[in-house]
Amino acid sequence: MSRRGDETWGPYPLVLAGAVIGVGVAGFGYPMPGAILIAVSLLLAAALRLLRGDRAAGRLAVRGRGYDAATTAVLGGMIVVTVLFLMFYRR
C-alpha cells in the first residue's frame, strides 16, 4: 500500500491544528496565549519547511524552500512582536 497521502500532506495537519487551537484559545477570551500559539505554529511550519526538504514539506511547499521558510517565519515573528508590544502597552 502506498503512503502517497502522507507525503502529500506532510506536517500541514500539525501546523493547522496549532493554529486552530490558538484561534480557539483566543476566542474563549485569552487573546495573548492564543496569538502566541498561532505564532508558534507558524514558526514550527517555517522550521519544518526549512529542515525537511522539498518532497517532505507536502502542502507547506508553495514556492522555493528558503522563500517559504522566510515568509512563514516573518509572519510568526510579527505576531510575536505584536503580542509583546501589547503586553507592555497594557502595563
pTM of the model: 0.76
Q: What is the DSSP string of 48-77?
A: HHHHH-TGGGGGG-SS-HHHHHHHHHHHHH
pLDDT of res. 66: 81
Q: What is the domain range of residue 66? A: 4-89
pLDDT beyond 70 at 8: no
Q: What is the pLDDT of residues 20-71, one digit of tens each?
A: 999 999 999 998 999 999 999 999 888 887 887 655 556 656 677 788 788 8
Residue 12 near residue 60, CB atoms below 8 Å: yes
Q: What is the domain count for the chain?
A: 1
